[in-house]
């Protein structure tokens, strides 16, 4: 089962590759990737549950501040309130 965490990276060429490479170097499998790092830097990564703590340490070593699902089960802390079309649909119409 995958455990997910969210991190905000600098939206520039190579940022996503740096995170994925650091995890691969530590033999941490990336089971899923979602987000729009090129637009707002938002990145959601899924790793094997047993490797979550190691993945969080690796990402922190890169100077990033990951938020795990366990620490933020709603996803609200890491995502802007208008995060993408799905966020807009889930949050309903604005007045």
Confidence of residue 36 (pLDDT cuts 50, 70, 90): confident
DSSP the chain: -EEEEEEE--SSTTHHHHHHHHHHHTT----EEEEETTTT-EEEEEEEGGGHHHHHHHHHHTT---EETTT-TTSTTTS-TT-HHHHHHHH----
1 vs 64, which has greater pLDDT? 64
Instruction: Give pLDDT tens digits for 15-32.
Output: 889 999 999 999 999 999
What does the pLDDT average to over 19-47? 90
pLDDT for position 89: 58
User: How many domains are contained in the chain?
Assistant: 1
pLDDT for position 81: 46
**Boundaries of domain holding 56:** 2-91
pLDDT mean across residues, the chain: 81
pLDDT for position 90: 57
Q: Which domain CATH number covers 37?
A: 3.30.70.260
């Amino acid at each position: 089962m995958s455990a997910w965490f969210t991190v905000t990276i600098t939206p520039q060429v190579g940022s996503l590759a740096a995170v994925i490479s650091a995890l691969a170097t530590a033999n941490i499998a990336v089971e899923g990737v979602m987000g729009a790092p090129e637009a707002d830097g938002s990145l959601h990564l899924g790793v094997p549950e047993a490797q979550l703590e190691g993945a969080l340490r690796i990402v922190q070593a890169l100077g990033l501040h990951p938020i795990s699902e366990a620490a933020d089960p709603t996803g609200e802390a890491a995502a802007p309130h208008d995060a993408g079309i799905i966020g807009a649909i889930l949050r309903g119409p604005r007045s």
